[in-house]
Structure 1
Amino acid sequence: MSKLAPRVGEPTHYSRIWTFRTPRARLALWFGWLALVALFVWCWQLMNEGTMWMFVADAPRQAADIGSRLFPPKLGYLPELLAPLWDTLNIATLGTLGGVIMAVPVAFLAARNTTPSATLIRPVALLVIVTSRSINSLIWALLLVAIIGPGLLAGIVAIALRSIGFVGKLLYEAIEETDARQIEAVAATGARSSQVIHYGIVPQVLPAFWGISVFRWDINIRESTILGLVGAGGIGMKLQSSIDTLAWSQVATILLVILATVVVSEAISARMRRALI
Protein backbone atom coordinates (compact mmCIF):
# COMPACT_ATOMS: atom_id res chain seq x y z
CA MET A 1 0.00 0.00 0.00
CA SER A 2 1.20 3.53 -0.74
CA LYS A 3 -0.04 7.06 -0.01
CA LEU A 4 -0.84 9.93 -2.34
CA ALA A 5 0.40 13.45 -1.68
CA PRO A 6 -2.40 16.07 -1.59
CA ARG A 7 -2.88 18.23 -4.65
CA VAL A 8 -3.03 22.00 -4.57
CA GLY A 9 -6.41 23.18 -3.40
CA GLU A 10 -7.46 19.80 -2.11
CA PRO A 11 -7.97 18.81 1.51
CA THR A 12 -4.89 17.39 3.14
CA HIS A 13 -6.04 13.83 3.55
CA TYR A 14 -4.49 10.65 2.33
CA SER A 15 -6.03 7.79 0.37
CA ARG A 16 -4.72 4.27 -0.10
CA ILE A 17 -3.99 2.74 -3.52
CA TRP A 18 -4.94 -0.90 -3.99
CA THR A 19 -2.12 -3.11 -5.23
CA PHE A 20 -2.40 -6.67 -6.55
CA ARG A 21 0.24 -7.99 -4.12
CA THR A 22 1.74 -6.63 -0.96
CA PRO A 23 5.52 -6.08 -0.82
CA ARG A 24 5.84 -9.19 1.33
CA ALA A 25 3.89 -11.26 -1.20
CA ARG A 26 6.01 -9.93 -4.08
CA LEU A 27 9.18 -10.80 -2.18
CA ALA A 28 7.90 -14.31 -1.45
CA LEU A 29 6.98 -14.76 -5.11
CA TRP A 30 10.43 -13.60 -6.19
CA PHE A 31 12.13 -16.05 -3.85
CA GLY A 32 9.80 -18.81 -5.10
CA TRP A 33 10.83 -18.19 -8.71
CA LEU A 34 14.47 -18.07 -7.64
CA ALA A 35 14.13 -21.43 -5.87
CA LEU A 36 12.41 -22.90 -8.94
CA VAL A 37 15.23 -21.75 -11.23
CA ALA A 38 17.82 -23.14 -8.82
CA LEU A 39 16.00 -26.47 -8.73
CA PHE A 40 15.88 -26.57 -12.54
CA VAL A 41 19.61 -25.86 -12.81
CA TRP A 42 20.39 -28.56 -10.25
CA CYS A 43 18.22 -31.13 -12.04
CA TRP A 44 19.80 -30.20 -15.37
CA GLN A 45 23.26 -30.77 -13.93
CA LEU A 46 22.25 -34.19 -12.60
CA MET A 47 20.78 -35.15 -15.97
CA ASN A 48 23.83 -33.83 -17.81
CA GLU A 49 26.20 -35.87 -15.66
CA GLY A 50 24.29 -39.12 -16.28
CA THR A 51 23.65 -38.64 -20.00
CA MET A 52 25.93 -39.75 -22.82
CA TRP A 53 25.22 -37.05 -25.36
CA MET A 54 26.97 -38.91 -28.17
CA PHE A 55 24.17 -41.49 -28.01
CA VAL A 56 21.54 -38.76 -27.87
CA ALA A 57 23.01 -37.18 -31.00
CA ASP A 58 22.87 -40.56 -32.74
CA ALA A 59 19.28 -41.23 -31.60
CA PRO A 60 17.51 -39.85 -34.72
CA ARG A 61 19.54 -42.12 -37.00
CA GLN A 62 18.88 -45.15 -34.78
CA ALA A 63 15.17 -44.35 -34.61
CA ALA A 64 14.98 -44.03 -38.40
CA ASP A 65 16.81 -47.35 -38.79
CA ILE A 66 14.46 -49.23 -36.43
CA GLY A 67 11.45 -47.51 -38.00
CA SER A 68 12.48 -48.73 -41.45
CA ARG A 69 12.70 -52.29 -40.09
CA LEU A 70 9.23 -52.13 -38.55
CA PHE A 71 7.56 -51.81 -41.93
CA PRO A 72 5.94 -53.62 -43.51
CA PRO A 73 4.40 -55.49 -40.55
CA LYS A 74 4.41 -59.26 -40.74
CA LEU A 75 0.67 -59.90 -40.96
CA GLY A 76 1.24 -63.64 -41.27
CA TYR A 77 2.26 -63.54 -37.60
CA LEU A 78 -1.30 -62.63 -36.52
CA PRO A 79 -2.54 -66.22 -35.90
CA GLU A 80 0.21 -66.73 -33.32
CA LEU A 81 -1.02 -63.66 -31.40
CA LEU A 82 -4.62 -64.79 -30.87
CA ALA A 83 -3.90 -67.00 -27.86
CA PRO A 84 -1.63 -64.45 -26.11
CA LEU A 85 -4.19 -61.73 -26.82
CA TRP A 86 -6.92 -63.85 -25.24
CA ASP A 87 -4.64 -64.37 -22.22
CA THR A 88 -4.17 -60.60 -21.97
CA LEU A 89 -7.93 -60.02 -21.97
CA ASN A 90 -8.35 -62.69 -19.29
CA ILE A 91 -5.63 -61.10 -17.16
CA ALA A 92 -7.34 -57.70 -17.36
CA THR A 93 -10.87 -59.03 -16.77
CA LEU A 94 -10.12 -61.47 -13.95
CA GLY A 95 -7.68 -59.04 -12.35
CA THR A 96 -10.30 -56.27 -12.42
CA LEU A 97 -12.90 -58.61 -10.95
CA GLY A 98 -10.59 -59.65 -8.12
CA GLY A 99 -9.53 -56.08 -7.43
CA VAL A 100 -13.13 -54.84 -7.29
CA ILE A 101 -14.16 -57.64 -4.91
CA MET A 102 -11.31 -56.75 -2.54
CA ALA A 103 -11.76 -52.99 -2.94
CA VAL A 104 -15.43 -52.81 -1.94
CA PRO A 105 -14.97 -53.74 1.76
CA VAL A 106 -11.81 -51.62 1.92
CA ALA A 107 -13.78 -48.62 0.60
CA PHE A 108 -16.54 -49.03 3.19
CA LEU A 109 -13.93 -49.33 5.94
CA ALA A 110 -12.17 -46.17 4.68
CA ALA A 111 -15.25 -43.97 4.32
CA ARG A 112 -15.90 -41.75 7.35
CA ASN A 113 -19.64 -42.40 7.40
CA THR A 114 -19.39 -46.22 7.23
CA THR A 115 -16.16 -47.17 9.00
CA PRO A 116 -16.57 -48.96 12.35
CA SER A 117 -13.60 -47.07 13.82
CA ALA A 118 -12.25 -43.77 12.50
CA THR A 119 -9.15 -43.98 14.71
CA LEU A 120 -8.08 -47.58 14.11
CA ILE A 121 -9.73 -49.30 11.14
CA ARG A 122 -9.97 -46.31 8.78
CA PRO A 123 -6.20 -45.57 8.82
CA VAL A 124 -5.49 -49.24 8.06
CA ALA A 125 -7.91 -49.18 5.12
CA LEU A 126 -6.38 -45.95 3.82
CA LEU A 127 -2.92 -47.52 4.13
CA VAL A 128 -4.06 -50.44 1.97
CA ILE A 129 -5.38 -48.03 -0.66
CA VAL A 130 -2.22 -45.91 -0.66
CA THR A 131 0.04 -48.97 -0.83
CA SER A 132 -1.87 -50.36 -3.80
CA ARG A 133 -1.80 -47.06 -5.67
CA SER A 134 1.86 -46.31 -4.99
CA ILE A 135 3.18 -49.54 -6.56
CA ASN A 136 2.85 -49.87 -10.33
CA SER A 137 1.30 -53.00 -11.77
CA LEU A 138 4.58 -53.82 -13.53
CA ILE A 139 6.37 -53.82 -10.18
CA TRP A 140 3.60 -55.96 -8.66
CA ALA A 141 4.04 -58.40 -11.54
CA LEU A 142 7.83 -58.44 -11.10
CA LEU A 143 7.45 -59.28 -7.41
CA LEU A 144 4.78 -61.92 -8.02
CA VAL A 145 6.75 -63.63 -10.78
CA ALA A 146 9.58 -64.01 -8.28
CA ILE A 147 7.17 -65.35 -5.63
CA ILE A 148 4.72 -67.60 -7.49
CA GLY A 149 6.54 -68.02 -10.78
CA PRO A 150 5.87 -66.75 -14.31
CA GLY A 151 2.50 -67.14 -15.94
CA LEU A 152 -1.03 -65.78 -16.07
CA LEU A 153 -1.65 -66.09 -12.33
CA ALA A 154 1.09 -63.57 -11.55
CA GLY A 155 -0.43 -61.14 -14.03
CA ILE A 156 -3.97 -61.56 -12.70
CA VAL A 157 -2.90 -61.03 -9.09
CA ALA A 158 -0.75 -58.02 -10.08
CA ILE A 159 -3.69 -56.36 -11.84
CA ALA A 160 -5.97 -57.12 -8.88
CA LEU A 161 -3.57 -55.67 -6.31
CA ARG A 162 -3.11 -52.55 -8.39
CA SER A 163 -6.88 -52.13 -8.88
CA ILE A 164 -7.65 -52.15 -5.14
CA GLY A 165 -6.24 -48.67 -4.61
CA PHE A 166 -7.88 -47.11 -7.67
CA VAL A 167 -11.34 -48.56 -7.10
CA GLY A 168 -11.14 -48.22 -3.31
CA LYS A 169 -10.21 -44.54 -3.37
CA LEU A 170 -12.87 -43.44 -5.84
CA LEU A 171 -15.51 -45.61 -4.21
CA TYR A 172 -14.91 -44.45 -0.65
CA GLU A 173 -15.05 -40.84 -1.83
CA ALA A 174 -18.39 -41.61 -3.49
CA ILE A 175 -19.62 -43.18 -0.24
CA GLU A 176 -18.66 -40.08 1.74
CA GLU A 177 -20.51 -37.85 -0.72
CA THR A 178 -23.82 -39.68 -0.34
CA ASP A 179 -26.91 -37.70 0.70
CA ALA A 180 -27.14 -37.91 4.50
CA ARG A 181 -30.89 -37.21 4.44
CA GLN A 182 -31.63 -40.49 2.69
CA ILE A 183 -29.45 -42.35 5.17
CA GLU A 184 -31.19 -40.65 8.11
CA ALA A 185 -34.58 -41.51 6.65
CA VAL A 186 -33.68 -45.20 6.52
CA ALA A 187 -32.18 -45.11 10.02
CA ALA A 188 -35.31 -43.42 11.36
CA THR A 189 -37.34 -46.52 10.50
CA GLY A 190 -35.33 -48.50 13.05
CA ALA A 191 -33.14 -50.26 10.49
CA ARG A 192 -29.92 -51.93 11.55
CA SER A 193 -26.52 -50.68 10.39
CA SER A 194 -26.33 -53.29 7.65
CA GLN A 195 -29.80 -52.33 6.45
CA VAL A 196 -28.89 -48.64 6.46
CA ILE A 197 -25.91 -49.41 4.24
CA HIS A 198 -27.96 -51.68 1.97
CA TYR A 199 -30.94 -49.37 1.51
CA GLY A 200 -29.49 -45.94 2.19
CA ILE A 201 -25.93 -45.97 0.79
CA VAL A 202 -25.63 -48.74 -1.79
CA PRO A 203 -28.36 -47.38 -4.13
CA GLN A 204 -26.64 -43.99 -4.16
CA VAL A 205 -23.14 -45.29 -4.96
CA LEU A 206 -24.13 -48.11 -7.32
CA PRO A 207 -23.91 -46.02 -10.55
CA ALA A 208 -20.52 -44.69 -9.50
CA PHE A 209 -19.41 -48.23 -8.63
CA TRP A 210 -20.21 -49.58 -12.07
CA GLY A 211 -18.60 -46.60 -13.79
CA ILE A 212 -15.42 -46.94 -11.72
CA SER A 213 -15.24 -50.70 -12.36
CA VAL A 214 -15.63 -50.35 -16.13
CA PHE A 215 -13.11 -47.51 -16.22
CA ARG A 216 -10.59 -49.60 -14.28
CA TRP A 217 -11.13 -52.54 -16.65
CA ASP A 218 -10.32 -50.25 -19.56
CA ILE A 219 -7.11 -49.16 -17.83
CA ASN A 220 -6.18 -52.76 -17.02
CA ILE A 221 -6.47 -53.74 -20.68
CA ARG A 222 -3.62 -51.33 -21.38
CA GLU A 223 -1.54 -52.36 -18.39
CA SER A 224 -1.91 -56.10 -18.99
CA THR A 225 -0.38 -55.80 -22.46
CA ILE A 226 3.04 -55.07 -20.97
CA LEU A 227 3.06 -57.45 -18.01
CA GLY A 228 4.51 -60.15 -20.22
CA LEU A 229 7.73 -58.15 -20.38
CA VAL A 230 8.48 -59.44 -16.87
CA GLY A 231 7.06 -62.93 -17.43
CA ALA A 232 3.47 -62.38 -16.24
CA GLY A 233 1.87 -63.81 -19.39
CA GLY A 234 -0.10 -62.28 -22.20
CA ILE A 235 0.88 -60.66 -25.44
CA GLY A 236 3.75 -58.85 -23.74
CA MET A 237 5.75 -62.09 -23.72
CA LYS A 238 5.48 -62.26 -27.51
CA LEU A 239 6.57 -58.64 -27.70
CA GLN A 240 9.60 -59.28 -25.50
CA SER A 241 10.69 -62.35 -27.46
CA SER A 242 10.33 -60.50 -30.78
CA ILE A 243 12.42 -57.59 -29.50
CA ASP A 244 15.08 -59.98 -28.16
CA THR A 245 15.38 -61.68 -31.57
CA LEU A 246 15.30 -58.33 -33.43
CA ALA A 247 12.20 -59.44 -35.36
CA TRP A 248 11.04 -55.88 -35.93
CA SER A 249 8.30 -56.76 -38.44
CA GLN A 250 6.75 -58.99 -35.76
CA VAL A 251 7.10 -56.16 -33.26
CA ALA A 252 5.15 -53.89 -35.61
CA THR A 253 2.38 -56.46 -35.89
CA ILE A 254 2.17 -56.85 -32.12
CA LEU A 255 2.02 -53.07 -31.62
CA LEU A 256 -0.81 -52.80 -34.15
CA VAL A 257 -2.73 -55.56 -32.36
CA ILE A 258 -2.23 -53.81 -29.02
CA LEU A 259 -3.38 -50.51 -30.52
CA ALA A 260 -6.50 -52.11 -31.99
CA THR A 261 -7.27 -53.84 -28.67
CA VAL A 262 -6.96 -50.59 -26.72
CA VAL A 263 -9.17 -48.72 -29.19
CA VAL A 264 -11.86 -51.40 -29.04
CA SER A 265 -11.73 -51.58 -25.23
CA GLU A 266 -12.01 -47.79 -25.03
CA ALA A 267 -15.10 -47.83 -27.24
CA ILE A 268 -16.69 -50.67 -25.24
CA SER A 269 -15.98 -49.02 -21.88
CA ALA A 270 -17.37 -45.68 -23.10
CA ARG A 271 -20.60 -47.33 -24.22
CA MET A 272 -20.90 -49.27 -20.97
CA ARG A 273 -20.32 -46.17 -18.83
CA ARG A 274 -23.00 -44.27 -20.76
CA ALA A 275 -25.41 -47.16 -20.28
CA LEU A 276 -24.68 -47.64 -16.57
CA ILE A 277 -24.35 -44.07 -15.31
Structure 2
Amino acid sequence: MTGTLSTDTTSGPAWQYRTPRQSLLQWLGWFLLVVLTVFCWQLMNENTIWAFVSDAPDQAMDIGSRMFPPAWGYIGQLWEPLWDTINIATLGTLIGVAIAVPVAFLAASNTTPSTRFVRPLALLLIVTSRSINSLIWALLLVAIIGPGLLAGVIAIGLRSIGFVAKLLYEAIEEIDFNQVEAVRATGASGAQVIDYAIVPQILPAFWGISVFRWDINIRESTILGLVGAGGLGIQLSASLATLAWNQVAMIFVVILVTVVISEWVSARVRQAVI
Protein backbone atom coordinates (compact mmCIF):
# COMPACT_ATOMS: atom_id res chain seq x y z
CA MET A 1 0.00 0.00 0.00
CA THR A 2 1.38 3.36 -0.96
CA GLY A 3 0.94 6.65 0.81
CA THR A 4 2.52 10.01 1.39
CA LEU A 5 3.35 12.19 4.34
CA SER A 6 2.22 15.77 4.09
CA THR A 7 4.02 18.30 6.24
CA ASP A 8 2.01 20.78 8.23
CA THR A 9 3.86 23.29 10.48
CA THR A 10 0.95 23.38 12.97
CA SER A 11 -0.01 19.71 13.37
CA GLY A 12 3.01 17.84 12.03
CA PRO A 13 3.22 15.15 9.33
CA ALA A 14 -0.14 13.63 8.21
CA TRP A 15 -0.40 10.29 6.43
CA GLN A 16 -2.43 10.20 3.19
CA TYR A 17 -3.91 7.00 1.75
CA ARG A 18 -3.07 7.97 -1.85
CA THR A 19 -0.56 10.22 -3.47
CA PRO A 20 -1.93 13.30 -5.25
CA ARG A 21 -1.29 11.61 -8.59
CA GLN A 22 -3.19 8.47 -7.55
CA SER A 23 -6.11 10.56 -6.28
CA LEU A 24 -6.22 12.44 -9.56
CA LEU A 25 -6.24 9.20 -11.54
CA GLN A 26 -9.01 7.82 -9.34
CA TRP A 27 -11.22 10.84 -9.90
CA LEU A 28 -10.45 10.72 -13.60
CA GLY A 29 -11.52 7.08 -13.67
CA TRP A 30 -14.81 7.89 -11.91
CA PHE A 31 -15.42 10.76 -14.32
CA LEU A 32 -14.87 8.52 -17.35
CA LEU A 33 -17.20 5.91 -15.83
CA VAL A 34 -19.95 8.52 -15.43
CA VAL A 35 -19.43 9.73 -19.01
CA LEU A 36 -19.64 6.14 -20.29
CA THR A 37 -22.81 5.51 -18.27
CA VAL A 38 -24.50 8.63 -19.65
CA PHE A 39 -23.47 7.72 -23.20
CA CYS A 40 -24.83 4.17 -22.85
CA TRP A 41 -28.08 5.48 -21.36
CA GLN A 42 -28.56 7.88 -24.26
CA LEU A 43 -27.76 5.12 -26.75
CA MET A 44 -30.34 2.85 -25.13
CA ASN A 45 -33.01 5.56 -25.08
CA GLU A 46 -32.47 6.42 -28.73
CA ASN A 47 -34.51 3.43 -30.01
CA THR A 48 -36.63 2.74 -26.94
CA ILE A 49 -40.38 3.26 -27.21
CA TRP A 50 -41.30 4.15 -23.64
CA ALA A 51 -45.01 3.69 -24.29
CA PHE A 52 -44.32 -0.03 -24.72
CA VAL A 53 -42.15 -0.08 -21.61
CA SER A 54 -44.85 1.54 -19.48
CA ASP A 55 -47.36 -1.01 -20.80
CA ALA A 56 -45.03 -3.97 -20.13
CA PRO A 57 -46.40 -4.89 -16.66
CA ASP A 58 -49.95 -5.17 -18.04
CA GLN A 59 -48.77 -7.26 -20.98
CA ALA A 60 -46.75 -9.52 -18.69
CA MET A 61 -49.74 -10.08 -16.41
CA ASP A 62 -51.95 -10.82 -19.41
CA ILE A 63 -49.55 -13.41 -20.85
CA GLY A 64 -48.94 -14.85 -17.39
CA SER A 65 -52.67 -15.36 -16.85
CA ARG A 66 -52.88 -17.25 -20.17
CA MET A 67 -50.03 -19.54 -19.12
CA PHE A 68 -51.89 -20.98 -16.14
CA PRO A 69 -52.77 -23.67 -15.72
CA PRO A 70 -50.10 -25.32 -17.90
CA ALA A 71 -51.33 -27.75 -20.57
CA TRP A 72 -50.51 -30.93 -18.64
CA GLY A 73 -51.90 -33.09 -21.44
CA TYR A 74 -49.30 -31.62 -23.79
CA ILE A 75 -46.47 -33.39 -22.00
CA GLY A 76 -47.01 -36.52 -24.11
CA GLN A 77 -45.72 -34.61 -27.14
CA LEU A 78 -42.60 -33.42 -25.30
CA TRP A 79 -40.91 -36.73 -24.42
CA GLU A 80 -39.30 -37.24 -27.82
CA PRO A 81 -38.04 -33.63 -28.14
CA LEU A 82 -36.75 -33.87 -24.56
CA TRP A 83 -34.84 -37.04 -25.43
CA ASP A 84 -33.42 -35.27 -28.50
CA THR A 85 -32.31 -32.38 -26.29
CA ILE A 86 -30.48 -34.71 -23.90
CA ASN A 87 -28.83 -36.50 -26.83
CA ILE A 88 -27.73 -33.19 -28.37
CA ALA A 89 -26.15 -32.11 -25.08
CA THR A 90 -24.49 -35.46 -24.40
CA LEU A 91 -23.12 -36.13 -27.88
CA GLY A 92 -22.05 -32.52 -28.31
CA THR A 93 -20.21 -32.63 -24.99
CA LEU A 94 -18.41 -35.85 -25.97
CA ILE A 95 -17.31 -34.34 -29.29
CA GLY A 96 -16.18 -31.12 -27.62
CA VAL A 97 -14.22 -32.93 -24.90
CA ALA A 98 -12.56 -35.29 -27.40
CA ILE A 99 -11.24 -32.32 -29.40
CA ALA A 100 -10.54 -30.11 -26.37
CA VAL A 101 -8.14 -32.53 -24.65
CA PRO A 102 -5.39 -32.45 -27.33
CA VAL A 103 -5.99 -28.73 -27.86
CA ALA A 104 -5.44 -28.14 -24.14
CA PHE A 105 -2.10 -29.98 -24.20
CA LEU A 106 -1.06 -27.93 -27.23
CA ALA A 107 -2.10 -24.69 -25.53
CA ALA A 108 -0.45 -25.34 -22.15
CA SER A 109 2.96 -23.66 -21.97
CA ASN A 110 4.55 -26.66 -20.24
CA THR A 111 3.32 -29.33 -22.69
CA THR A 112 3.10 -27.58 -26.06
CA PRO A 113 5.68 -28.66 -28.65
CA SER A 114 6.15 -25.05 -29.77
CA THR A 115 5.39 -21.88 -27.83
CA ARG A 116 5.99 -19.75 -30.92
CA PHE A 117 3.74 -21.48 -33.47
CA VAL A 118 1.61 -24.31 -32.03
CA ARG A 119 0.52 -22.62 -28.80
CA PRO A 120 -0.80 -19.44 -30.46
CA LEU A 121 -2.81 -21.53 -32.92
CA ALA A 122 -4.29 -23.60 -30.09
CA LEU A 123 -5.15 -20.45 -28.14
CA LEU A 124 -6.74 -18.95 -31.25
CA LEU A 125 -8.93 -22.04 -31.61
CA ILE A 126 -9.98 -21.77 -27.97
CA VAL A 127 -10.83 -18.08 -28.26
CA THR A 128 -12.76 -18.64 -31.49
CA SER A 129 -14.85 -21.39 -29.92
CA ARG A 130 -15.59 -19.38 -26.78
CA SER A 131 -16.40 -16.13 -28.56
CA ILE A 132 -19.28 -17.56 -30.65
CA ASN A 133 -22.45 -18.57 -28.83
CA SER A 134 -23.88 -22.03 -29.44
CA LEU A 135 -27.06 -20.48 -30.85
CA ILE A 136 -24.99 -18.68 -33.50
CA TRP A 137 -23.08 -21.89 -34.25
CA ALA A 138 -26.42 -23.65 -34.69
CA LEU A 139 -27.72 -20.90 -36.97
CA LEU A 140 -24.65 -21.21 -39.20
CA LEU A 141 -24.75 -25.01 -39.24
CA VAL A 142 -28.45 -25.13 -40.07
CA ALA A 143 -27.69 -22.96 -43.08
CA ILE A 144 -24.75 -25.22 -44.08
CA ILE A 145 -25.94 -28.78 -43.38
CA GLY A 146 -29.66 -28.23 -42.98
CA PRO A 147 -31.98 -28.38 -39.95
CA GLY A 148 -31.94 -31.32 -37.58
CA LEU A 149 -30.19 -32.86 -34.62
CA LEU A 150 -26.80 -33.07 -36.36
CA ALA A 151 -26.56 -29.29 -36.54
CA GLY A 152 -27.37 -29.06 -32.84
CA VAL A 153 -24.83 -31.71 -31.85
CA ILE A 154 -22.02 -30.06 -33.82
CA ALA A 155 -22.98 -26.61 -32.52
CA ILE A 156 -22.78 -27.79 -28.91
CA GLY A 157 -19.49 -29.56 -29.66
CA LEU A 158 -17.91 -26.48 -31.23
CA ARG A 159 -18.99 -24.31 -28.31
CA SER A 160 -17.68 -26.84 -25.76
CA ILE A 161 -14.17 -27.01 -27.21
CA GLY A 162 -13.11 -23.59 -26.01
CA PHE A 163 -14.68 -23.91 -22.56
CA VAL A 164 -13.18 -27.31 -21.76
CA ALA A 165 -9.80 -26.61 -23.38
CA LYS A 166 -9.31 -23.29 -21.56
CA LEU A 167 -9.99 -24.70 -18.09
CA LEU A 168 -8.04 -27.86 -18.82
CA TYR A 169 -4.90 -26.16 -20.13
CA GLU A 170 -4.90 -23.91 -17.07
CA ALA A 171 -5.06 -27.05 -14.90
CA ILE A 172 -2.14 -28.53 -16.88
CA GLU A 173 -0.04 -25.41 -16.31
CA GLU A 174 -0.68 -25.64 -12.55
CA ILE A 175 0.56 -29.22 -12.08
CA ASP A 176 3.41 -30.12 -9.74
CA PHE A 177 6.40 -30.28 -12.08
CA ASN A 178 8.45 -32.27 -9.57
CA GLN A 179 6.40 -35.33 -10.41
CA VAL A 180 7.09 -34.80 -14.09
CA GLU A 181 10.82 -34.56 -13.43
CA ALA A 182 10.73 -37.69 -11.29
CA VAL A 183 9.05 -39.77 -14.01
CA ARG A 184 11.30 -38.28 -16.68
CA ALA A 185 14.40 -39.22 -14.64
CA THR A 186 13.46 -42.90 -14.97
CA GLY A 187 13.98 -42.67 -18.73
CA ALA A 188 10.27 -42.52 -19.59
CA SER A 189 9.22 -41.36 -23.02
CA GLY A 190 7.15 -38.24 -23.62
CA ALA A 191 3.94 -40.25 -23.84
CA GLN A 192 4.77 -42.08 -20.62
CA VAL A 193 5.48 -38.80 -18.84
CA ILE A 194 2.04 -37.54 -19.86
CA ASP A 195 0.41 -40.83 -18.89
CA TYR A 196 2.05 -41.28 -15.47
CA ALA A 197 2.92 -37.75 -14.34
CA ILE A 198 0.47 -35.29 -15.90
CA VAL A 199 -2.79 -37.16 -16.45
CA PRO A 200 -3.17 -38.35 -12.81
CA GLN A 201 -2.82 -34.74 -11.62
CA ILE A 202 -5.42 -33.27 -13.98
CA LEU A 203 -7.89 -36.17 -14.02
CA PRO A 204 -10.15 -34.82 -11.23
CA ALA A 205 -10.24 -31.42 -12.93
CA PHE A 206 -10.97 -33.10 -16.27
CA TRP A 207 -14.02 -34.95 -14.95
CA GLY A 208 -15.28 -31.92 -13.08
CA ILE A 209 -14.95 -29.67 -16.14
CA SER A 210 -16.57 -32.23 -18.47
CA VAL A 211 -19.59 -32.82 -16.23
CA PHE A 212 -19.99 -29.09 -15.61
CA ARG A 213 -19.95 -28.45 -19.36
CA TRP A 214 -22.54 -31.20 -19.92
CA ASP A 215 -24.76 -29.50 -17.35
CA ILE A 216 -24.41 -26.19 -19.22
CA ASN A 217 -25.09 -27.89 -22.56
CA ILE A 218 -28.36 -29.34 -21.27
CA ARG A 219 -29.62 -25.79 -20.82
CA GLU A 220 -28.25 -24.50 -24.10
CA SER A 221 -29.68 -27.44 -26.06
CA THR A 222 -33.22 -26.54 -25.03
CA ILE A 223 -33.23 -23.41 -27.20
CA LEU A 224 -31.33 -24.60 -30.28
CA GLY A 225 -34.61 -25.73 -31.84
CA LEU A 226 -35.57 -22.07 -32.20
CA VAL A 227 -33.22 -21.95 -35.20
CA GLY A 228 -34.05 -25.47 -36.44
CA ALA A 229 -31.38 -27.50 -34.63
CA GLY A 230 -33.79 -29.94 -32.96
CA GLY A 231 -34.87 -30.56 -29.39
CA LEU A 232 -37.43 -28.84 -27.20
CA GLY A 233 -36.79 -25.54 -28.94
CA ILE A 234 -38.82 -26.71 -31.94
CA GLN A 235 -41.88 -27.30 -29.76
CA LEU A 236 -41.28 -24.01 -28.00
CA SER A 237 -41.06 -22.13 -31.29
CA ALA A 238 -44.28 -23.76 -32.56
CA SER A 239 -46.16 -22.92 -29.36
CA LEU A 240 -44.95 -19.33 -29.39
CA ALA A 241 -45.94 -18.95 -33.05
CA THR A 242 -49.50 -20.06 -32.29
CA LEU A 243 -49.69 -18.06 -29.01
CA ALA A 244 -50.42 -21.28 -27.11
CA TRP A 245 -49.20 -19.89 -23.81
CA ASN A 246 -50.36 -22.82 -21.70
CA GLN A 247 -48.21 -25.10 -23.88
CA VAL A 248 -45.31 -22.70 -23.43
CA ALA A 249 -45.77 -22.94 -19.67
CA MET A 250 -45.69 -26.75 -19.90
CA ILE A 251 -42.45 -26.60 -21.88
CA PHE A 252 -40.97 -24.27 -19.24
CA VAL A 253 -41.91 -26.78 -16.54
CA VAL A 254 -40.22 -29.62 -18.45
CA ILE A 255 -37.09 -27.51 -19.01
CA LEU A 256 -36.99 -26.54 -15.34
CA VAL A 257 -37.28 -30.13 -14.15
CA THR A 258 -34.65 -31.27 -16.66
CA VAL A 259 -32.20 -28.57 -15.56
CA VAL A 260 -32.76 -29.38 -11.86
CA ILE A 261 -32.08 -33.08 -12.51
CA SER A 262 -28.96 -32.28 -14.55
CA GLU A 263 -27.74 -30.01 -11.73
CA TRP A 264 -28.21 -32.85 -9.24
CA VAL A 265 -26.42 -35.37 -11.48
CA SER A 266 -23.60 -32.92 -12.11
CA ALA A 267 -23.14 -32.20 -8.40
CA ARG A 268 -23.11 -35.89 -7.47
CA VAL A 269 -20.61 -36.78 -10.17
CA ARG A 270 -18.29 -33.92 -9.19
CA GLN A 271 -18.45 -35.02 -5.57
CA ALA A 272 -17.54 -38.55 -6.61
CA VAL A 273 -14.52 -37.66 -8.76
CA ILE A 274 -13.05 -34.61 -7.04
Gaps of 5+ in 1: 8-14
Distance across 2 between alignment mates of 1:124 and 1:61? 52
Runs of 4+ in 1 over 6 A off after TM superposition: none
Query: Structure 1 residue 70 and structure 2 residue 58: aligned?
Result: no
After superposition, give the CA deviation of every residue in 1:169-188 in whole Å (9 maximum; x if it has no partner). Answer: 00000111110000000000
Q: Counterparts of 1:78-117 in structure 2 under 5 Å?
A: 78-117=75-114
Q: Aligned with 2:14: secondary structure?
A: coil
Distance across 2 between alignment mates of 1:4 and 1:225? 68
Distance across 1 between alignment mates of 2:10 and 2:268? 70
Aligned partner letter, 2:165: G
Which residue in the other structure is 2:249 paired with? Answer: 252
- Across the two proteins, how many residue pairs are aligned to each other? 270
Query: Structure 1 residue 178 and structure 2 residue 175: aligned?
Result: yes
Which residue in the other structure is 2:219 paired with? Answer: 222
Q: Aligned with 1:18: secondary structure?
A: strand
How has the CA–CA distance of structure 1 residues 6 and 40 changed in structure 2, closer, same or farther, with 3 Å as cutoff?
A: closer
Query: Structure 1 residue 157 and structure 2 residue 154: aligned?
Result: yes
Structural RMSD (CA): 0.9
Distance across 1 between alignment mates of 2:201 and 2:24? 49
TM-score by length of 2: 0.97
Q: Aligned with 1:169: secondary structure?
A: helix
Query: Structure 1 residue 235 and structure 2 residue 232: aligned?
Result: yes
Gaps of 5+ in 2: none
From 5, 9, 17, the counterpart of 1:5: 9
Distance across 2 between alignment mates of 1:276 and 1:43? 45
Q: Aligned with 1:118: secondary structure?
A: coil
TM-score by length of 1: 0.96
Q: Deviation at 1:224?
A: 0.2
Identity %: 71
After superposition, give the CA deviation of every residue in 1:115-164 in whole Å (9 maximum; x if it has no partner). Answer: 00000000000000000000000000000000000000000000000000
Q: Deviation at 1:4?
A: 2.6
Distance across 2 between alignment mates of 1:160 and 1:6? 71
After superposition, give the CA deviation of every residue in 1:224-266 in whole Å (9 maximum; x if it has no partner). Answer: 0000010000011000000000011100000000000000000
